[in-house]
Structure 1
Amino acid sequence: MVVWRSVEAMAIRIRTVGTTALVLAGTLALCSCTATEPPPTTEYQARTSSPEASLTVVADASEQAASIATSVALFDESRVVVVAPAGDPAAQALAARAAVAVGVPLLVADGAGPGSSAAPGEVDAALRDEFTRLNVTTVWSIGDPAGFAARPGSSDSADDAADNSADDAANNSGNDAADGSENDPADGTPRIVASDATQEHVEAALGFALDAEDGAAGTPGTADRNRAAAIPRTTPAPPLDDTLALALDSDAQIASIATAQAAGVAVQLLPTSAPNPQANAAAVEALHGSATSKTLAIGAAFGGEPELDWKIRASRTGATLPGGGQLLFPQHQFIALYGTPGTPSMGVLGEQDVAAAIQRAKDVAAPYAGLTDKTVVPMFEIIATVASASAGADGNYSNELDPARLRPWIDAAAAEGVYVVLDLQPGRTDFLTQAKQYQELLELPNVGLAIDPEWRLAPDQVHLKQVGGVDAVEVNAVTAWLAELTNEKALPQKMLVLHQFRQSMLRDRSAIDMSHPELAMLIHADGLGAQPDKQATWRALHQDAPAGVAWGWKNFYDEDAPMLNPEQTVAGVFPVPDLVTYQ
Structure 2
Amino acid sequence: MKLKHVLLAGLFTFSSLSLFSSCSQTGGKTTKANTAGGAAATADGADTTVKAVLTPIDTALYDSLMVKLANGDTTGKWPVKKTPYPLAGAILPFKRVVAFYGNLFSKKMGILGELPPKEMLAKLKVEAKNWEKADPKTPVQPALHYIAVVAQGDGGKDGKYRYRMPFKQIDTVLYLAKKIDGIVFLDVQVSLSTIKDELPLLEKYLMMPQVHFGMDPEFSMKDGSKPGKRIGTYDAADINYVSGYLADLVKKYNLPPKILIIHRFTRKMVTNYQNIKLRPEVQVVMDMDGWGEPDLKLGTYRHFIFSEPVQFTGFKLFYKNDLKKEPHRMLTPAELLKYKPAPIYIQYQ
Instruction: Give the TM-score normalised by the residue count of structure 1.
Output: 0.44
Identity %: 26
Aligned to 1:469: 233
Q: State which of 148, 156, 159 in structure 2 corresponds to 1:392.
A: 156
- Shift of the 329–344 alpha-carbon distance from structure 1 to 2, 3 Å rule, reads same
Aligned-pair CA distance for 1:570? 2.6
For residues 317 and 563 of structure 1, what CA distance do their matches in structure 2 show? Answer: 34
For residues 196 and 230 of structure 2, what CA distance do their matches in structure 1 show? Answer: 22
1:566 aligns with 2:301: no
Q: Is the 8 Å Cα contact of residues 337 and 380 (structure 1) preserved in structure 2?
A: yes
Amino acid at match of 1:366: K
1:358 aligns with 2:93: no
Q: Is the 8 Å Cα contact of residues 144 and 173 (structure 2) preserved in structure 1?
A: no
1:338 aligns with 2:104: no
Deviation track 1:375-406 (CA, whole Å, cap 9, x = no partner) reads 11111111111111111112111111022221
Aligned-pair CA distance for 1:468? 0.3
Q: Is the 8 Å Cα contact of residues 369 and 375 (structure 1) preserved in structure 2?
A: yes
Q: Residue 437 of structure 1: SS of its match in structure 2? A: helix
Indicate the structure (1 or 2) with the bigger Cα radius of gyration.
Answer: 1
Q: Residue 473 of structure 1: SS of its match in structure 2? A: helix
1:582 aligns with 2:348: yes
For residues 288 and 380 of structure 1, what CA distance do their matches in structure 2 show? Answer: 23
Q: Is the 8 Å Cα contact of residues 556 and 563 (structure 1) preserved in structure 2?
A: yes
For residues 342 and 552 of structure 1, what CA distance do their matches in structure 2 show? Answer: 25
Q: Residue 234 of structure 2: SS of its match in structure 1? A: coil
Question: Number of paired residues?
Answer: 271
For residues 180 and 52 of structure 2, what CA distance do their matches in structure 1 show? Answer: 20
- Shift of the 342–448 alpha-carbon distance from structure 1 to 2, 3 Å rule, reads same
1:451 aligns with 2:215: yes
Aligned to 2:10: none
Aligned to 2:315: 553
Gaps of 5+ in 1: 1-277, 290-315
Determine which structure has greater relative contact order: mean sequence separation of CA pairs < 8 Å that are 6+ residues apart, divided by chain length. Answer: 2
Aligned to 1:401: 165
For residues 153 and 340 of structure 2, what CA distance do their matches in structure 1 show? Answer: 36
Aligned to 2:192: 428
For residues 283 and 410 of structure 1, what CA distance do their matches in structure 2 show? Answer: 28
RMSD (Å), alpha carbons: 2.2
- Shift of the 410–318 alpha-carbon distance from structure 1 to 2, 3 Å rule, reads same
Aligned-pair CA distance for 1:477? 1.1
Aligned-pair CA distance for 1:354? 3.2
Q: Is the 8 Å Cα contact of residues 103 and 112 (structure 2) preserved in structure 1?
A: yes
Task: State which drifts further: 561-570 or 380-389.
Answer: 561-570
Task: State which drifts further: 345-354 or 436-445.
Answer: 345-354
- Shift of the 416–543 alpha-carbon distance from structure 1 to 2, 3 Å rule, reads closer
Q: State which of 304, 311, 317 in structure 2 corresponds to 1:541.
A: 304
For residues 293 and 263 of structure 2, what CA distance do their matches in structure 1 show? Answer: 19
For residues 519 and 428 of structure 1, what CA distance do their matches in structure 2 show? Answer: 26
Aligned-pair CA distance for 1:495? 0.6
1:531 aligns with 2:294: yes
Aligned-pair CA distance for 1:282? 4.4
- Shift of the 288–581 alpha-carbon distance from structure 1 to 2, 3 Å rule, reads closer
For residues 326 and 563 of structure 1, what CA distance do their matches in structure 2 show? Answer: 32
Q: State which of 239, 244, 259 in structure 2 corresponds to 1:480.
A: 244
Instruction: Give the TM-score normalised by the residue count of structure 2.
Output: 0.73
Aligned-pair CA distance for 1:543? 4.8
For residues 190 and 215 of structure 2, what CA distance do their matches in structure 1 show? Answer: 9
Q: Is the 8 Å Cα contact of residues 342 and 353 (structure 1) preserved in structure 2?
A: no
Q: Is the 8 Å Cα contact of residues 233 and 268 (structure 2) preserved in structure 1?
A: yes
Q: State which of 308, 328, 331 in structure 1 corresponds to 2:91.
A: 328
For residues 307 and 293 of structure 2, what CA distance do their matches in structure 1 show? Answer: 24
Amino acid at match of 1:396: K
Aligned to 2:16: none
Aligned-pair CA distance for 1:412? 3.0
Question: Where do 1:138-149 residues align within 5 Å?
Answer: none
Task: State which drifts further: 355-364 or 484-493.
Answer: 355-364
1:318 aligns with 2:85: no
Aligned-pair CA distance for 1:279? 5.4
Q: Is the 8 Å Cα contact of residues 361 and 380 (structure 1) preserved in structure 2?
A: no
